[in-house]
Structure 1
Amino acid sequence: MEPLTASHSLDSQKKVAVLLADGFEDSELTVPLEYLQSRGVRCELIGSEADKGIAGKHGYRVATDKAVTGVDERDYDGLLIPGGHSPDKLRADEAAVAFVKAFFNAGKPVAAICHGPQLLIDADVVDGKTVTSWPSVQTDLKNAGANWLDRELVLDGNLITSRRPSDLPVFCSAFADFLLGEG
């Protein structure tokens, strides 16, 4: 499979920031990117550095398009946070945390899967929200004030969460529908 980058996306009025670091869950990046791009959504890979090669847990490699310090939430219509080890690394990056919080505060869709909600905890946006995640993250989410449910998809306002790779079909569809105003 050819690596996915922003240059492979379709020209569209909708644009999504995909926030990731080394150790992302491969399918939680590739499947949503392919799905969103098939729906005409442009995706940009955002990391701690621009043009940096990063690897997924299973060896899938991508290069970031932009550094999180050089982007603005106002340039995007939504945010995707893949799981794996990436969110745990990003939660220590103040710029990444601020970027997530800006999306949430602007009311734009924020889609996080698996361990992705770890980053939402540090952005301080889960208190009072109903979410799901990989089961090992539930205690952290509850301690941050979230109501955790074991469901394949949970929608709460502009927040879209799912648990694991097997939830990707419903997760991708819900995120795209929200972005495109079809949900």
Structure 2
Amino acid sequence: MTGKKILEIAGDFVEDYEVMVPYQALQMAGHEVHAVAPEKGEGESVKTAVHDFRGDQTYVETRGHDFALDAAIEDVDPANYDALVVPGGRAPEYLRTYDSVLETVRHFFEEDKPVAALCHGPQILAAAGVLEGREMTSYPAVRAEVENAGCSWVDGVVTDGNLVTGQAWPDHPEWLAEFLDVLGTTIEHESAAAAADD
């Protein structure tokens, strides 16, 4: 497998697990991942937030980690990337106000490149105007917003062409597996007996 070059959009108070886990898991699978944010350059970081589900009507939010960035989104050319990851958290509500973010998202849809979005990340997709006629999911509280953008909302991880969506970080195993499939990633497991023979 030849690794893909993947762009991940971040911002202050992006959800900790939703930015960190895909970043590391996709690298582990052999892909090159660059995390970018508006107005923040290489080596700078964003603050993350941890959203936890404890039986309340909504999640609770606590301060997460500092997540290091690879570049400012304004300094990268989306044409140089094969796929896009859009995590959730609180960041999407303001990231969708940046033209550089919306133009980047539109590029991946116009070129039919793989896109994975999770939780509140679809707020950015809705603002970019790329959801018309799609079948997808999101964090349930964002459902009305994405449906108003022209999509059909489904409960559960959804793959619609090049777009893979999930509701929140508990969906990581299925969401990432579906995204790896869309990327054309194959992971081979060697049996313990075969490994012992090597």
Q: TM-score, normalised by structure 2?
A: 0.82
Deviations 1:62-90, CA, capped at 9 Å, x for gaps:
22211111111111110001100111121
* Corresponding position of 1:24: 14
Counterparts of 1:51-90 in structure 2, within 5 Å, are 51=42, 52-57=44-49, 58-90=63-95
Mapped to 2, the partners of 1:170 and 1:34 lie a distance apart of: 16
Q: State how 1:91-110 maps to structure 2 within 5 Å.
A: 91-110=96-115
Q: Specify the alignment match of 1:176 in structure 2.
A: 180
Partner of 1:126: 131
Where has structure 1 moved over 4 Å in runs of 4 or more?
Answer: none
Q: Equivalent residue for 1:50?
A: 41
Structure 1 residues not aligned, in runs of 5+: 1-11
Counterpart AA for 2:140? P
Q: Residue 60 of structure 1 aligns to a residue in which SS?
A: strand
Name the amino acid aligned to 1:173. A
Q: Quote the offset at 1:177 in angstroms.
A: 2.0
Q: State the SS of the aligned residue for 1:45.
A: strand
Amino acid across the alignment from 1:180: G
Equivalent of 2:29 in 39, 60, 64: 39
Residue 36 (structure 1) shift: 0.8
SS in 2 for 1:44: strand
In the alignment, what sits opposite 1:158?
162
Q: CA RMSD in A?
A: 1.5
Identity percentage of aligned residues = 37
1:140-155, aligned counterparts within 5 Å?
140-151=145-156, 153-155=157-159
- For the residue of structure 1 that corresponds to 2:64, the secondary structure is coil
How many residues are aligned here? 171
CA distance in 2, matches of 1:148, 1:13: 31
Greater Rg over alpha carbons, structure: 2
Q: Using the alignment, how far apart are the partners of 2:18 and 2:64 within structure 1?
A: 13
Which piece of structure 1 moves more, 89-98 or 50-59? 50-59
Tell me the distance in 2 between the aligned counterparts of 1:154 and 1:109. Answer: 13
Deviation at 1:181, TM superposition (A): 4.9
TM-score with structure 1 length normalisation? 0.89
Q: Which runs of 5+ in 2 are unaligned?
A: 50-62, 187-198
Question: Equivalents in 2 of 1:61, 1:157: separation in Å?
Answer: 33
| C-alpha distance in 2 between matches for 1:34 and 1:140 | 30
2:133 alignment partner AA: G
